[in-house]
Each structure stands twice: as structure tokens, then as C-alpha cells.
Structure 1
Amino acid sequence: MSGMCGTGQRRRPGPDEALARELAETATRAGNRQAAGVALAAFERAVQLSEDPAERGRRLLAASEVASQLGDIGAARRLLGEVVDEHLRPADQAWLSYLRETFFVTGWSGTARLAVYAELVDALRREGDLRRAADALHAMGLRFFWSNAEPETIQLYLDVADQFDAVEEDPRLVATVAMIAPIERGAVSLERITQLRTRFDLNPAELHALGLASGAIGALDMAAQFYAAAAAGVRAQGRIGVLAQLLTSQAFTAANLGDARVAVPAAAEAASLATETGQPAWALTARLMLGHAEALRGDGAAARQAADLGESILLPSGRLPMLALVQTIRGVEALAGGRPEDGYRQLHRIFDPGDVSYHPQMRFVTLGHLAEAAARSGQEGALRAIVTQLSPVARECGSPALAVALRYAGALLANDAAVFELALDADLSGWPFERARLQHAYGVWLRRQRRAAESRPLLRSAAATFDALGAVPWADRSRAELRASGESLRRSVDAAGVLTPQELQVARLAAEGLSNKEIAERLFLSPRTITTHLYRIYPKLGIKSRGELARLMADST
């Protein structure tokens, strides 16, 4: 390999298309093995040796993508700058347009070019370049989630995807179909993803893709597992550009699961890495996820600041579907701040097709908050209409998040012990926030029925779970209801509330038993910085050793 890339005796002084082709194949194989550094070196040398202008352009495009994975957006932009548009084949011209939009942030084209990109994917497939065709299709899948595409465009992409031979077995193709059509193909995609979860040979890119797909469908519990496994692999590979994107998605999942203690450090690191690697769109999304987590924690000022920042950027740039993230923050912050009527008004915009913040799939993960806001502000009639509208959608797509939220909303509307019991009998092991929210609602109902003794175990459990998730306002409400029932419960130590996001991340890793050197490698910091963080963490938590830290962190999870 070193000789082929120009450091050994096999180096040739002038263009050599045969050697360039061989190097490009080597680069592709390296990319398949997730060896991005080797792939980039091989692609760049292949570019230097290329005789065919069209092939040179295609290799420059491939090299720029690999550079972005490594977090070197400057190199990605430099490589794209060397591309001569008129030398490219039509499919590559379309792909160049997409990459320029991605790396140079030239403006969001939304759904306008989706049909053109579909033709690109199909052209690559017909040419036999199945790897690039699948990669391009996967890239479009993520765009679909934030585009609110028309049914005709969705069907166009499904027709293209169905032409691939391995669409039912290939993890990335399975994931792509789920992201393109999470409602139309949600149920079958969920079944395939569940089957793929048992495989031990999935690489980080495949795990990342399956996490995205699980999140699109609303299988947030599965998405969290895929992201955790993918993050470990991507860190080991040093692909910090991809890591920034992955951590942003992990924070999205954690925040929508109500887990502020995972969402805060993931979002903070994602925002830092995305900024460092020149990915402003991902940096903004990470900041919105941090705002969502701060809303869960009860930091209204930080949440409102994040929402205002997001709106100020997303509205002018035309990324309107992403405004659903802004409305989620505002709705959750209002709920946390004791303003349920405002919370309902903010969240309802996500459910209104006539509103710029409308987002079909974000309804799945925000319905629980909307239902809580409606019940607390006396808007049960409006909630009932939404439940009626979404129930057939749930049957069609099989979204776990939507099913969980509908059970909760149904219990609130039924106002009946048997319905509460039935909802709690469902498997909510992967949905601790939703289980606690249901326990709280049932406990409140029982207390108001003068069944205080029966309400206490439910309220006690709800408070403990909310505390463990860092959802302080919800925990405080459960404790208040518990006091009204005749029992008091002291608030637990909240590490997430007193530590900065990076300190919390260091604390978690130290509690897991990692050394300062290992933590530094994991977070791309120096061991000395880790020592400084721990020096600050101990007095904040009132502890003096790693052993105490491990016990405290274990008690809070």
C-alpha cells in the first residue's frame, strides 16, 4: 500500500490510469473496512495518477467524502474545489451538487432536488457502482426525515430502493428504506431491524445507519443501543466528523426518551466536534438537542436561548421541518416551568399540517408531552381528536414511540383505573420516562380518588425514575403529589445539575473504571485536562475518591 500511494519504489512519475484504478479499488476496500485514513490517502494518490478526466472527478468526489468522515472539512472543500464540473458524468454532477450543498452550506434545497438525486442513485446502480449508489441513497434517507417529502417523491425513492437485490438483508439499505418511508414501510422495516439487531458482524457505519432508522420509526429504545455500539467503534477509528453526527443523533434519542443525563454530555460533545470539524448544520442541531435536555432539567433560560437561536437560523435558511425541534424545546420548557397551556400551544404546531413547524414523524416522539400538556390545561377534547387521527397511523407504521404515547393519552382520557393498569402492564422497560409519567398520572388519579395509600408506591417510583433521568421538574411534581398523600421524599443528589456537560461526561467514564489516560483518549483530550476536571468534580459532588464517584453515579442511574 505504501508503494502504491507514492512512498515506495513503485511510484510512477506521470499519469497512469491502470494504477489509479487499482488505487481507487484499494481505497474503496479500505472504506468498507472503515479505514478512512488509508482510503483518503489512496483516493488522493489515485487522483494524481488519473488520466481520464471523468474518473478523476469521481475520485475527487469520493476523496472529499472520506475527508469529511475524518472531520477534515477543509480538505473536503479543497478536493471539491478541484472538480471540473463539465468533466463529470451526469450522475456525478448531481452528486457534486449535493456535496457542495453539504460542505459549503450553499443553502437548503429541501425537496426541490430530491427527484434529481433519485435519478443519480438509479444511474449509479445501473452502471454497476452499487456501493456508491447505496451510499447516495442512504444520504438521501437522512434528508428525507427533515424534508416532509410529498407521497409521489417517497414512492419514487422506494421504487429505486426496491431495485437493489439485497434490500431486505443489507443493513444500510434496510435503514434507508425506513428513513425514506417510516410510515408506509415502518412496520416491515421495524421487523427487519429487530432481526438485524442480533447480528454480531455489524460495523460502526451499519450500526449508525440502523440507529438513524430506528429513530425515524420511533423505536428510540433500539436506536439508543445502536448508537452506543456505533460510537465506541467510530471513536476507535478516529472519525471525528462522523462522531459529531452520531453523537447528535444519540442526543436526539436520549432527549426524546426523557434522559437528560445522557443527552447533555452527548449534545455538548457533538456541538464542540461539529464546530471543530466545520459542520455548522450539525453543530446547530446538537445545540438544539442540548436545549431540549436543558428544558428537561428545568433550565428554562438555557432552553429558551437554544430555541431562539435555532429559529433565527432555520427560518431564514428555509429548513422549516427542523422547526419541530424548536417547538419541542419550547413545549417541554413550558411543561417543566408549570405552564401547560403554553406547552400545548407550542407542541400543537408540530401536529398542524398548516404550520411551518409541522413534522409527521416528530409527532410520534412528542405526543406524550402534548397529552400531558392537554390533560394539565383542560384540553382533553382537542387531545381526543389527535388520538383519533393518529391511531390508524400507529397501526400502519408500528411505531413504538407512538404506541407508548397513545397508551398514555388513552389512560388520561379514560380516567379509569383499569385503563391505567392496562397501560402499565405493557413492556416499558426501554421507556423509563414514559413509564414514570404514566405512574405519576395514575398516582395523582388515585390520590384524588382518596386512595392515598395506593398512590404512594407509584409516585415514589415515578420520582425516583425522573431523578435518575435528570428530569428535575417532573421529579419535583411527583414529590409534591407524594407529600399531598401524606409521605415526604427527599431530592437525590443530581450530578447532572451541578456539573458542566464535559465534567459529567468525565465523571461517567471515571465511574465506569476508566483511567485518566483512557478517558483522555475517548474524549480527544489530554490526561492533564482529565485530572483538572476530576479535581473540580469531587468537591462539587461532596466526594473524595473514585469509589465514592462510582457509587454516586450508580445511585443516580
Structure 2
Amino acid sequence: MVGRDGERARLSAFVLAPDGQALVLRGEAGVGKSTLLDLAARLAAEDGQLVVRATGVEAESGLPHAGLHQLLYPLLPTSDDRPCDGRPFDDRPTDHRLSDNRPSGAPQLGAAARAAFDAVFGRPDGPPPPVMALGIAVLDLLSWTASKGRPVLLVLDDGQWLDEASAEVCGFVGRRLAGRPGVKLLVAVRGDTASPFDTAALPEAPIGALADADATRLLDLHHPRLGRQVRGLVLEQAGGNPLALLELPAHLADGPGDRAGQDLLGLHGVPLPRRIQEIYAARLARLGDTVRAELLRGALDGAAARPGDGPASIARYRMREVDEAVACGLLVVEPGAGEFAFRHPLVRSSVVQLATPDQRRAAHRVLAQLHREYPERRAIHLAAATVDPEEGVAADLEAAARSATRRGGARLAVSWLTRAAELSETRVDRSRRLGEAAYVAGQTDHLGRARSLALAAAPGTDESPAAVLADSYLALYRDGEVRATHRRIVAAVERLRDSPDRGHHLPGLADRHDLPGRADRVGQGPDRPDEVLDRLVSLLLAVSQYAGDRATWRRTHEVLATLGDLATERAWMYGSTWSDVVRHGAGWSRRVERASAGLEEQDPWDVTRLAVSAYHLDVLSPLRPYLERVVDRELDTGAMSSGIVMLHLVLLDQLALGQWDAAERTGHRALALATERGHGLFAHQTRAYLAQLAAVRGRTAEARELQTAVEAWARPRGVGFLTQIADAVGATAALSAGDYETAFLHAIGITPPGAFRPYAYQASRTLLDLVEAALHTGRAEQARAHALAARDAGLPDLSPRLALVTHGALAMTAEDDTEASAHYARAQSHPAAERFPFELARIRLAHGIAVRRLHGAAAARLPLTQAAKAFDRLGAPAWSARAHAELRAAGVAPQAPAPTSIPLTWQERRVAELAAGGLTNKEIGEQMRLSPRTVSAHLYRAFPKLGITTRAALRDALTRVSQPTPAP
């Protein structure tokens, strides 16, 4: 603590302050951060606070929530509170989920919080929760603990090694402690090492080297008898680093002065942590083999430098019989628990570096056995323990990769699959696993790596299944190339179908039959290994969907039919629902619902494909809670492409349910991500959805601007999926503006009246638009023909939304009042009618108009009032004005509610001002110490509050709003 008066005062004020807060200590290795953490912990303990300590572990930096587990373990009771010992091994697995038999005084957590903590404690029953859900659960737990009269101090050392998922939650919690008295978070990170806390936007305190006078005083206090020459050498070499000032003299005293001095001078120019490591290495070299082996196992398993209070983390190796290492200053004995811990992280690094490769592999084998109940931890040690090909280890790594993928760790799965390929005993297995790694890399948006892995899986050819998959995803996502991509995938599917040894070179997981939907194949048992064929077919169907034309879909269905027993039920489901729901969608809703029962056990890309089928059948809402839970996970550490598709699906459900403000925020987030990743297809798809949203809200200029951009990109490429949306946007925007002739022309561009153009998926979705536009332009016969065509095609049986709009269209075009009344009643009483508020309000408006003309004003007031309130609530001013005008004609003069503005937060305002000044997201992030993704998030929340959709409109919008919220 010499020379640390300022730091001590700040930490004392931090620890003893009644308000919740967070602080990050940043400095180089050996500068004294851990000692300052010890001081803070001691001050807090003396004040009666509950101190919870954790240490970032480099070996676990790739394991989601490993660090958070350390922090939560002392706070939550478990069904078995015994920490796992390294020796002897116990064959009984320990379940570390929260116990239902909670001890007296334990926090009574709700189901959501219990599920969130179960995920962190290593035995999840469902998917890991997103950052916000888990962060809120942690905040609730901390607040509950502090509310019992004992404030909480969380102390985290070596934060640079914390896994990204834990760091995000800690950052989320730290930024929200200001309003939660009694809870504090103190973190130490190395200043010379990249850290997940670099972008956490938490207050920081730099811990620098000691001033010359303080360095001299510290050296003299601990080594008063140093000779003048050695003293000067130590001061020069230490450069004010306290650990170096304490350790270098001991190193010089280990041997003859001249030789030791020469050794030290020989390290001149080497970074200081390395010099200290050399000192520790000299001490390690004097230890016996048994002690060094114990230290190595502890170091590789992440034994904490100074763990502090609370029980140890589960399944952590405990070092035994290492008193010799304590005597020479490498280990300390933890007070109370009596456990051995490394004196400093640099000791742990020295232990690992000094060990031979054979010694490290032997230690990893022991640790792999220790973690046998935890596949992902086991995989880390297995990968490091094995040199020669070994099929059992490769299979274990493959299983761990599968587990990681389903838990949102697809990026980590790529590394494990690649290592599994290296350890495969046969060329076939190696190729298969490299192909699997290529596929997962493509889903994580590492398309370049996906292609290199695919080429490695089948060297010498660009037409291997893995290469076709990698190249096709690249062509589709980046460039929207559907024609050539479709031809190439068809050729690859046919080659694979006709190959006599198909199962021997398919890079997929042979045992994927444990997934729901994998076993229910047409005429095929669950054990077939044709995973890559499934993936090629799924991609072929996706390309066909984006092409959206009759010829492409016919060719795709021909290929699907030739596969016979090789085609899965999922393939037929996608081929039917994605292509032409009017002709092929019957009977699939129940199967989609059945397949949705096991989403947690499916890969993220399988979930999104199933959800797309649910969207086409208008049964997406039950899947949305799961999508919202996992989308952040996939965008951060998992399948990025699937994450963007999940955002699209959430947006579409929000649009259907009338949650338009939320839909706009989701859309801008998806657009920012797609643009940042260079996904031209996803970016323009998002613009198309935002155009639909602008059209229903009556923002016709914005809708047409977006529509034009989408058409200009999609039409030359033949992306019919997007050009159909553009036509639908034109129809809806024109209806909102009262331009019914233009609306009719756009609608018949999708499908002619009285028919539903084959493979035009917007044909059924624009049924109401075409009918209304035809009626308002005097084309009553064409409107009637279209309504009857919907009835005869069986649309009411296909989906709840189509049932609603079909009965609405039949009512609007009915030839007599009795028929009209019956269909209006069936539409408005449909069990799912309220799930589609915009369509329901339009039908009620038409009903009110018809009733007023036939039965008088009094009878029309109820449906007109219902329609007007719905349009007001949705934020559709053009439709709302129309409904209020009809109400006035019916003798009612309702007052439209005054719009309420939502103020910008201080950060939103500041980000918006910098963006209006022309700065990029990266430049704004550097100025405000935020990540570019966080800047993007602030902007997409600010845009709807300002009533704009582009950065160009920021300056004018900011001049219209009131003064910003004061800075915190």
C-alpha cells in the first residue's frame, strides 16, 4: 500500500458509500490491483458487508457463464452444496441446479429467475437466457440479499479472462447499480490485455506505477540491506512496479550477486511481466516432480489467484501436498477454507509455460476425467490432451460442439469440430467433421472460414457438398444471387443422391436423430447420416423462396420428389409452406406446432426454418417467446445469420400483433446488423419489412422511398420474394393515402382478381388490399370474384389470419345484407381475430360504413368506435381519420387522443447529436467509450422517439425536441 494513498481513499469511499455503484481498476500485471482488491474486501468485511469474490480464468474464457457461476455460487443454495474435489473422483454426478427444498431465509425466486440461474449453474433445462433476462435476475438476487441488512460487494479479479457472456451480464448489472443501494461491483483488469470490460461503459480508476520516491520507500521497507548497485539495478528494472520491487531482490539473493545481476541485465528489454515470470520459473525448477504436477493441474483448471470468501466453484481441481510451493512464495493458503491458491496470476502462467508438452497433456487428461459430467469443459481438456488421432476423443469433441451450438456457442463449436477433425482416425470422419465445421462457421457468419474449411474437407474440388454449401450461403447472403445458386445446389443434390457411397462422405453428424423432426422421415429410420443432404435441400428451398417464381419452385419440387425416402418430413414441410401456402399449406399447422414442442433441443438454424413455416401459416406467435430469449445469444456468440432471421421473425409477429413501435425498433436493429455484416439480402429484406410498417402507419413518403430501394436491388437479381413485398407496400401505402386506383394496380401486380398466382406468397396476404381497392374503384365484380376465389381455395382452413380476411372480404362483397352480416359476424367472432388488430379494425370500419348506410347511424356506432379506437392505438393516422370521419357522420364527434412524446435519455440524445454531426458509429463509440453495437442500439431506440427513420433527419428532429434529460 506504499504510495497508494489516493487509491486507498477512493476505494474506502467506494466501499463505504451507501449507494450502489461499480468500479473497474485497470493497470499492468504486478502493479497491485489484487492487493487493492484485498484492501476493499477487508474494508467491506469490517463494515459487515457480504463479500463475494471471483477470478477470471483463462482456461474457461470460452465457456459461457463460467465466471458468473463463481459469483453466484456463494449466494444461491443448491441441491448439493459440496464443492467437487479433484481427488478422489466421485462417480456420482452432482446436480447444481437450484434446490426446490430451499433453506430458511433463501430468496424466493420466481420461475423466470430460477430458470435463468439454472442455466448459469451448468445443468440447463432450457436455453441460456439473454443478457437482459439474466442481468435482471442477478439484480433481483443482489437487491434481495442487500435488503436483509447486509450490503453486498462483488469483487472480480483478472476480469480480462472472464468469459464474454459473464462479462456482458456483469456490465449490464454494473450499469444499473446506481438505483440499488447496498450493492457494489469492483473489477480489476490488466491494462495491456484486451478485456470484455473495455466496452462495458463502467467507471474506471487507472492504477499506475509507483512514483520514484514511493518505489524507493517500498524497496527499502522490504529489502533494507540491498547494496547500492543492486538497489539501483532493481529500481531501474522494476520501473515502479510493486510486484517487481518485491520479487527481483529475492531473485538476486538466490545466487552469487554478480551472476544474478548478469541474469537480470540479460532480461533488459523484455516486458516486465515476463521478467517476473522468469523469477517464478527459477523457483518452480527447484520443486519436486509431484509438486509441479499438482501445480500444473491447478493452473490448467483455473485455480484462483486469491479466491476469497465463499465455497469453491464446482468441479475445480484442488491441489494437495504442495507446502513446498507455499514455502518458496508461489502459493498462499486461503484463510478459513485452508485451500491452496496461486499467489499471483503470473505464477499460474509460469507453471504452464515451464511444463513440457507431455506434462501438460497428462494434466489435461486428469482434468478431462474430473469434468466428465460437463461435456464442454471436458472438451477443452480433451482437445489439449490428445496428439495422435483417437476416435473416442474426436467423438467427445463432436458431442461437445453439438451441445455448445444448442447453448448459443456456435463459434466455439467451430473450433471443437476442427480439432475433432484433426483427431479423426479415418479420412472419411475427418472430411465429415470439417464439413460440419464449415457449415457451422457459415451460420456464425464466418463465411471466409467456412469456405476454407469446406475446401479442406474435400481438397482438390470446388463442388464438394461442403464447398457448395459455403459458397451458396456467401452468394445468397452477400449478393442475393438466386439463379446461379439454385442451379449449383440442384446439381450438388443430384450428385449426392446418385452417389453409391453417399453416407461415406457426408460432412454431417451421423447421430443427429436425437433432434425432434429428425426421426420422422418419409420411409426412413432415424439412423441415417445424410445430414448434409438435408442441409443442401433446406438451402435449396430457401433459395427458391427468395426467388419466388414458378419455374424455380417447380424445379425444386421435382428434385424433392426424386429423393424419395431421402427427403425428410421437414423438407416437405418447408417445400409446402414456403412455396405456395394456398395450394400446399393444408394440414401443416398441427405438424409445425408439434415440431415446436422441442425447440431447446434443436440447432438455431432448424428453429428459424421451422419459425418461417409458422409465419407462412400465421402461427408464429407461440414461437416468438423462445426467439426473443435466444436471439441476443445467437447474435453475440452463436449463429449470427440465424440471429438476424430471428429478428425478422420477431418483427413480423410484432407487426401482425399491432406492436408497431417495438417492430420499428426491431427492424432498425436488424438493419444495422445486416448492413454491418455486409448482408445485402438481409439488409434489403429488413428495408422491405420497414416499408410495410411505414405503409400501414400512413407514412407514405417513407414507405415509397424504401420500396424504391428494395425494388432497385431485388428486381435485377430476380429476388421475387422482395419484389412481391415491394408491390404489397405500394398497395398498402396507396390505400392509406386514399389512392385506390394505384392500390389496385399494385395489388394486381401480385395476382389477378379471382385467382391466386402460383408461388406468389403475397397473393393471399394481400387479399383484403385487392378487394378494398377494387370496391373503391367501381370494380365490384372483380372484388367479389376474388373473395369467392379465397373461399373456394379453402383459405379459412389454412390459417387464422386468412380465415379473418376471407370472411371480411366475403362480407364486403356480399350480394345481400344477410350474407354480409353473417360473414362480418364470423370474422369478428373468430377466436384469433384480436391477434390481427389492423385487419380486424379495417373489417370493422367497412362493417360500420355498410351498417350506417343500410340501418342508420345508431347501429353503426359500435363497429365504427371499435375501429377508431384500434387505429388510434395502433398509430395509423390515415385510417384513424377515416374512422373518425365516419363516426362524425354517425352523429359522434370523438376526440382523438393527443400524441405523447417519449423523451430521449441522456445517452440517446448525446449519441444522436454526434450522429447528426456526421460521426460514424465507431467514432461515436470511441468518444463515448461504447461499442459500435451499443451506439447502434441507442440510435434505433432514438429514431422512433424522434419520429424519423434515417440519420439524415437527425439534425432537424433534434431541434424540435425539448431539452435532453440531464446527464447522470
TM-score range, shorter chain: 0.7 to 0.9
Judged with a 3 Å threshold, the aligned counterparts in structure 2 of structure 1 residues 96 and 201 are, in CA distance, closer, same or farther, namely closer
How far 1:18 moved relative to its partner? 7.4
Tell me which residue corresponds to 2:440. 66
Judged with a 3 Å threshold, the aligned counterparts in structure 2 of structure 1 residues 529 and 111 are, in CA distance, closer, same or farther, namely closer
Q: Is the 8 A contact 1:40 1:67 kept in 2?
A: yes
* 1:112 aligns with one of 487, 504, 515: 487
Does residue 448 (structure 1) correspond to residue 853 (structure 2)? The answer is: yes
- Any idea what the Cα deviations from partners look like across 1:58-101, whole Å, max 9, x if unmatched? 54443343234334455446655767663578544543442342
Judged with a 3 Å threshold, the aligned counterparts in structure 2 of structure 1 residues 173 and 63 are, in CA distance, closer, same or farther, namely farther
Judged with a 3 Å threshold, the aligned counterparts in structure 2 of structure 1 residues 326 and 36 are, in CA distance, closer, same or farther, namely same
Tell me which residue corresponds to 2:404. 30
How far 1:313 moved relative to its partner? 0.8
Tell me which residue corresponds to 1:439. 844
How far 1:107 moved relative to its partner? 2.6
Tell me which residue corresponds to 1:418. 821
Tell me which residue corresponds to 1:280. 680
How far 1:467 moved relative to its partner? 2.4
Specify the SS of the correspondent of 1:490: coil
Tell me which residue corresponds to 1:481. 886
Tell me which residue corresponds to 1:293. 693
Judged with a 3 Å threshold, the aligned counterparts in structure 2 of structure 1 residues 402 and 302 are, in CA distance, closer, same or farther, namely same
Q: If each structure's helix is expressed as a fraction of its own residues, which one has the higher value?
A: 1
- Choose 422-431 or 105-114, whichever is displaced more: 105-114
Tell me which residue corresponds to 1:99. 473
Alpha-carbon distance between aligned partners in 2 of 1:269 and 1:465, rounded to the nearest angstrom: 27
Specify the SS of the correspondent of 2:578: helix
Tell me which residue corresponds to 1:525. 934
* 1:192 aligns with one of 591, 597, 602: 591
Alpha-carbon distance between aligned partners in 1 of 2:655 and 2:540, rounded to the nearest angstrom: 24
TM-score when normalising by structure 1: 0.78
Judged with a 3 Å threshold, the aligned counterparts in structure 2 of structure 1 residues 204 and 82 are, in CA distance, closer, same or farther, namely closer
Tell me which residue corresponds to 2:868. 463
Specify the SS of the correspondent of 2:487: coil
The AA in structure 2 aligned to 1:429 is: E
Alpha-carbon distance between aligned partners in 1 of 2:601 and 2:487, rounded to the nearest angstrom: 34
Does residue 405 (structure 1) correspond to residue 814 (structure 2)? The answer is: no
Judged with a 3 Å threshold, the aligned counterparts in structure 2 of structure 1 residues 118 and 35 are, in CA distance, closer, same or farther, namely same
Does residue 224 (structure 1) correspond to residue 621 (structure 2)? The answer is: yes
Alpha-carbon distance between aligned partners in 2 of 1:335 and 1:42, rounded to the nearest angstrom: 54
The AA in structure 2 aligned to 1:304 is: R
How far 1:460 moved relative to its partner? 1.2
TM-score when normalising by structure 2: 0.47
Q: Is the 8 A contact 1:57 1:83 kept in 2?
A: yes
Tell me which residue corresponds to 1:241. 641
Judged with a 3 Å threshold, the aligned counterparts in structure 2 of structure 1 residues 275 and 114 are, in CA distance, closer, same or farther, namely same
Tell me which residue corresponds to 1:391. 791
5+ residue gaps, structure 2: 1-375, 505-527, 909-929, 947-957
Judged with a 3 Å threshold, the aligned counterparts in structure 2 of structure 1 residues 493 and 78 are, in CA distance, closer, same or farther, namely farther
- Any idea what the Cα deviations from partners look like across 1:276-317, whole Å, max 9, x if unmatched? 233221111001111111111111111111111111111222
Q: Is the 8 A contact 2:714 2:720 kept in 1?
A: yes
Q: Is the 8 A contact 1:260 1:294 kept in 2?
A: no
Judged with a 3 Å threshold, the aligned counterparts in structure 2 of structure 1 residues 26 and 214 are, in CA distance, closer, same or farther, namely same
Judged with a 3 Å threshold, the aligned counterparts in structure 2 of structure 1 residues 199 and 480 are, in CA distance, closer, same or farther, namely farther
The AA in structure 2 aligned to 1:116 is: A
Tell me which residue corresponds to 1:137. 537
Alpha-carbon distance between aligned partners in 1 of 2:898 and 2:643, rounded to the nearest angstrom: 31
Tell me which residue corresponds to 2:578. 179
RMSD: 4.4
Q: Is the 8 A contact 1:291 1:307 kept in 2?
A: yes
Specify the SS of the correspondent of 1:487: coil
Judged with a 3 Å threshold, the aligned counterparts in structure 2 of structure 1 residues 379 and 209 are, in CA distance, closer, same or farther, namely same
Does residue 157 (structure 1) correspond to residue 557 (structure 2)? The answer is: no
Q: Is the 8 A contact 1:364 1:401 kept in 2?
A: no
How far 1:212 moved relative to its partner? 0.5
Alpha-carbon distance between aligned partners in 1 of 2:892 and 2:414, rounded to the nearest angstrom: 63
Does residue 305 (structure 1) correspond to residue 714 (structure 2)? The answer is: no
Q: Is the 8 A contact 1:145 1:216 kept in 2?
A: no
Judged with a 3 Å threshold, the aligned counterparts in structure 2 of structure 1 residues 57 and 312 are, in CA distance, closer, same or farther, namely farther
Alpha-carbon distance between aligned partners in 1 of 2:898 and 2:813, rounded to the nearest angstrom: 35
Tell me which residue corresponds to 1:331. 731
How far 1:198 moved relative to its partner? 5.7
Q: Map residues 11-22 of structure 1 onto 2, 5 A cutoff.
A: 11-12=386-387
Alpha-carbon distance between aligned partners in 1 of 2:382 and 2:888, rounded to the nearest angstrom: 73
Matched-pair identity in %: 22
5+ residue gaps, structure 1: 504-520, 546-557
Q: Is the 8 A contact 1:259 1:470 kept in 2?
A: no
How far 1:437 moved relative to its partner? 1.0
- Choose 196-205 or 181-190, whichever is displaced more: 196-205
* 2:416 aligns with one of 37, 42, 45: 42
* 2:612 aligns with one of 199, 212, 215: 212
- Choose 342-351 or 383-392, whichever is displaced more: 383-392
Q: Map residues 120-135 of structure 1 onto 2, 5 A cutoff.
A: 122=497, 128-135=528-535
Alpha-carbon distance between aligned partners in 1 of 2:395 and 2:601, rounded to the nearest angstrom: 28
Specify the SS of the correspondent of 1:449: helix
How far 1:340 moved relative to its partner? 1.0
Q: Is the 8 A contact 1:258 1:471 kept in 2?
A: no
How far 1:48 moved relative to its partner? 5.4
How far 1:398 moved relative to its partner? 2.0
How far 1:432 moved relative to its partner? 1.6
Q: Is the 8 A contact 2:904 2:964 kept in 1?
A: no
* 2:774 aligns with one of 358, 361, 374: 374
Specify the SS of the correspondent of 1:107: coil
Alpha-carbon distance between aligned partners in 1 of 2:783 and 2:721, rounded to the nearest angstrom: 22
- Choose 79-88 or 307-316, whichever is displaced more: 79-88
- Any idea what the Cα deviations from partners look like across 1:192-213, whole Å, max 9, x if unmatched? 2234456685657354333200
Alpha-carbon distance between aligned partners in 1 of 2:937 and 2:752, rounded to the nearest angstrom: 51
Specify the SS of the correspondent of 1:525: helix
- Choose 191-200 or 283-292, whichever is displaced more: 191-200
Give the greater-gyration-radius structure (CA). 2
